[in-house]
Amino acid sequence: MEAPDTPAPPSSGPYRVLARKYRPQTFAELIGQDAMVRTLGNSIARDRLAHAFLMTGVRGVGKTSTARLIAKALNCIGPDGQGGPTIDPCGVCEPCRAITEGRHIDVIEMDAASNTGVDDVREIIEAVRYAAVSARYKIYIIDEVHMLSRNAFNALLKTLEEPPPHVKFLFATTEVNKVPVTVLSRCQRFDLRRITPDMLFSHFSSILQKEGIEAEAPAIWLIANAAEGSVRDGLSILDQAIAHADLDGGGKIGADQVRVMLGLSDRTSIAQLMTTILDGDSAAAIDLARAQYALGIEPVAMVRGLMDLTHAVTLAKVSRHDDPALAEADRERIGDWAQKLGFAPLNRLWQLLLKGHDEVLRANNPLEHLEMLLLRVIYAASMPDPGELAKLLESGRVPTMPLAAPPASAGQETAAAAAVAEAAPATELPATSLTIAQIHQLLESSGNHRLAVQVHDHLRVIELEPGQLVFAAVPALSATFPRDLGDALLAATGSRWNVRAGEGDARPSLGEMRAATAADNEARIRELPVVKAALAAFPDASLEDPADNRHKSNP
C-alpha cells in the first residue's frame, strides 16, 4: 500500500537571514566585481599568485566573502582530489566544504577590531613558520585590518613582505586610508565597487523568486536605492520588507509599504510641497509640512525628499534622469518643472535645501527648523542669484526688495498716500483734505522746488486739519516759511491756510520717515545670503535707493 500524500513538515531549523543564506559561494555569484575576478583568474591561470591581498570598499560589497572565495580557490582539490588552484572552486571537495562551513584548520579568520595588539600579531608570526596541516596554503583572513595598532602593523611588516611560500594573507577593510602605506605597498590591492541599483534590482528579484515571494517592481527599486550600493544592507532591508508585507494581501511587498517602512515621504506629498514652494504659498507649505509630521514623517526626511526632487528635475533638464521607481504621473510632473525652471533657480534651491538639511538634522525641534527653512526658500525664490546681483551692482541698478512696511503711527503718511498724490494732478486735489505728502507734491508740480525740499526734509507736523497746519519750529525753517507756505497753498488750492509754528508732539518729516524706512530695508537686505555674497565679492559696492538720488538732485 502506498502511504497517503502529506505535506512536508516545516523546517525546524533556525531561520537564516537572506544576507547569510545567499552569501556568494563562487566567483560567478559575486556581483559587480568583474575586474577583480578577471585579475584573480589570470593570476591563478599563470601561477602568479601574490602573497598578500587587500580588499577594500564600502560595507556589504563582498570583501570578506571575496577573501573566503580566494581561500577556496587556492585550496580546492576538485571532486577527484587531484585538482589545483582554480578560479572556479568545485564546492564539493573537503577543503571547499570546510572553508564554507568555517571549520578548516588552515584557514584562520581574525577580527582585527577585537585583536588589535602586538601580542595578537606575534601569535601569527610564530604560527606562519609551520606548514599547513591539510591544505595547500595556510591562509590568514584579517577583517577590518585598519583597526590594528601601529605597533601591530610594524610587527607584521617583515613577515608580510617575506612570508613562507605556504602562507597567504587576505586583508579586508572599509577604511583603507587608515592602513599604513608600508602595508599597502606589500599587498595586491582590490577596490571593490559599489553595486549599482540595476544590479541590486536583478539580484533581489532573483532572490524573491527563489523565496516564492511576490513584490511590486517599484518596491524592489526603492530597496535597491535605499541599499546605497551595499548588497548586505539591501538584503537586510528586503528581509524587513518581507516581514512588513501585509499577510492579508498574500504577503506581496508593495511600494507604499516599503516607503512607510523606510520612513520616506510620500512622493505625492513631496510634489505638493514643492508646488507650494514654487508658487510662493508659505501658508500652504507649512500646513503640508505639519500634516506630514503628524503622519510620522520626520522633517529631515521631507528635506531629503525635496532634495531628491530638485536633483531629479535638474537631471531631467539635461535628459539624464531615469528612475524606474517613478510612476508616469511623477515623470510628467518632473518633466514639466524641468521645462519651466532654469538652472540658476534650481541651483539656488539645492543650496538652500542642502544647508537646511544639516540644520534640521541637528535641531532640537526639527519641525520648527523645517518651517523656517520653507519660509527661507520661498522668500529667496524671487531673489537674483549672486551672478545676477553682481551685474546689478556693477551697473548701479540694485533692486529694492518688496519688504513689509513698518507699522504706521498715528497720522503718519504712508507711501501709498504719496503714490496717490504723484498719480493725481494738483487741480483735482480737494483743498480741505490734503496730507503732507500731497502738499509736497503740490509744491513740486507748481515749480516751487525750494519750498518742496523744505517741506520734505524739515517739516514736522504737530496738527494738520482742513485749512490749518501747525508745525514744530526748527532752525532749518526760516522765519518767512509759514507765510511762504501759506501763499503757495492759496495759489495751488484757492483756499487760505493758517500755517504757524507751535508746541507739542510732532511727527517725523517725510524725509526722516523715508530715511528710517530705507535704513530698515537696507539692514534686512544686507542680511540676505546673496547680498552678503555680492558685497563680499565687491567690497566697494553700496546699496542705493534711486528715490533718494532723485530728491538729492532737486534744487
What is the full DSSP assignment across 268-279?
HHHHHHHHHHHH
Least confident of 183-192, 255-264, 276-285, 332-341: 255-264
Asked if residue 10 has pLDDT above 60, the reply is no
Overall fold of domain 197-261: Helicase, Ruva Protein; domain 3 (1.10.8)
Residue 153, all three cell numbers: 602593523
**pLDDT greater than 70 at residue 383:** no
Is 267-380 a domain of CATH 1.10.15.40?
no
Q: Where in the chain is the domain with CATH 3.40.50.300?
A: 18-191
pLDDT level of residue 265 (50, 70, 90 thresholds): low
Higher local confidence (pLDDT), 332 or 383: 332
Per-range mean pLDDT, top range of 72-76, 267-271, 294-298, 421-425:
72-76
Secondary-structure class of domain 18-191 per CATH: alpha beta
* CATH 3.30.300 residue window(s) in the chain: 415-512
CATH 3.30.300 fits 415-512, yes or no: yes
Interstrand relation of 167-173 and 107-111 (parallel, antiparallel or unpaired) = unpaired
Lowest mean pLDDT among 378-387, 397-406, 494-503: 397-406
Name the segment(s) of the chain with CATH classification 1.10.8.60: 197-261
Of the listed ranges 327-331, 375-379, 542-546, the least confidently predicted one is 542-546
Give the pLDDT band of residue 410 (cuts 50, 70, 90).
very low
pLDDT the model gives residue 555: 41
Q: What is the pLDDT of residues 44-88, one digit of tens each?
A: 888 888 899 999 988 888 898 899 999 999 999 988 888 888 888
Give the pLDDT band (50/70/90) at residue 334.
Answer: confident
Q: Please report, rounded to a whole number, the percentage of residues in the chain having pLDDT higher than 70.
A: 82
Q: What is the mean pLDDT of residues 19-23?
A: 88
Q: Is the pLDDT of residue 406 over 60?
A: no
Asked if 378 and 277 touch (Cβ cutoff 8 Å), the reply is: yes
Mean of pLDDT values over 138-160 = 90
C-alpha atoms less than 13 angstroms from C-alpha of 52 in its C-beta half-sphere: 20
Asked if 534 and 398 touch (Cβ cutoff 8 Å), the reply is no
- DSSP 3-state of 316: helix
Q: What is the pLDDT of residue 456?
A: 87
Residue 407 pLDDT class (50, 70, 90 cuts): very low
Taking only the tens place, the pLDDT of each residue in 103-144 is: 899 999 988 888 888 888 888 888 888 888 888 999 999 999
The pLDDT tens digits of the residues spanning 485-537 come to 888 888 877 778 888 888 888 888 888 888 888 777 777 777 777 777 677 76
The Cα 537–Cα 387 span in angstroms is: 10
| 3-state DSSP of 438-502 | HHHHHHHHCCCHHHHHHHHHHCCEEEEECCEEEEECCCCCCCCHHHHHHHHHHHHHCCCCEEEEE
pTM assigned to the model = 0.58
β-pair partners for 190: 55
Measured on CA atoms in the order 256, 259, 265, 270, is the torsion positive or negative? negative
pLDDT at 142: 92
∠ at Cα 241 (238, 246), nearest 5°? 150
Residue 546 pLDDT: 54
Residues of the chain with CATH 1.20.272.10: 267-380
With cell 531628491, the residue in question is 308
